[in-house]
Amino acid sequence: MPGGGVVYGTAFALTRLMDRPVYAVALFENPESGAPLLRVAVTIEPGNSEFQVKSPRLNVLTNNRLYTVSLSIYWDDAHTQLLGVHQQQVLFSVPPDLELRIEREYSVRIL
């Protein structure tokens, strides 16, 4: 995303096909110190076994760091009937010789 920051995300696969929509809420660890988690909600339509979730745009990242993503799946769009929870980590890592280029091209500060 030239000039607009970067996103981090993950791809998920359901362990079974659903015959009705289910609702996912992803909480991304915020790279900015002391900032709240970044929340993204998506609907998984019936018959879809795979889906992706991406964070909002980020302008600060720490190189060679794992960021945690917590995913909750709900039966209802009010997010009250929990179906399952999953947590994984996403690694942000770029070679040191590319840090300055990425900072300039994507308006990202790499710590």
104 part of a folded domain: yes
Structure letter (DSSP) for residue 4: S
Q: Could you tell me the CATH number of the domain that includes residue 55?
A: 2.60.40
pLDDT class for 1, splitting at 50, 70, 90? Answer: very low
pLDDT class for 3, splitting at 50, 70, 90? Answer: low
Range of the domain at 25: 9-110
3 part of a folded domain: no
Number of domains in the chain: 1
36 part of a folded domain: yes
2 part of a folded domain: no
pLDDT (average), residues 78-93: 95
51 part of a folded domain: yes
1 part of a folded domain: no
pTM: 0.87
pLDDT (tens digit, 9 = 90+) per residue, 17-59?
A: 899 999 999 999 999 888 999 999 999 999 998 999 999 999 9
pLDDT (tens digit, 9 = 90+) per residue, 59-74?
A: 999 999 999 999 999 9
86 part of a folded domain: yes
CA quadruple 92, 93, 96, 99: dihedral, nearest 10: -40
Q: CB-based contacts of 88: which residues, under 8 Å, 6+ apart?
A: 10, 68, 69, 71
Burial 77-110 (b: 16+ CB within 10 A, else e): eeeeeeeeeeeeeeebeeeeeeeeebeeebebeb
81 part of a folded domain: yes
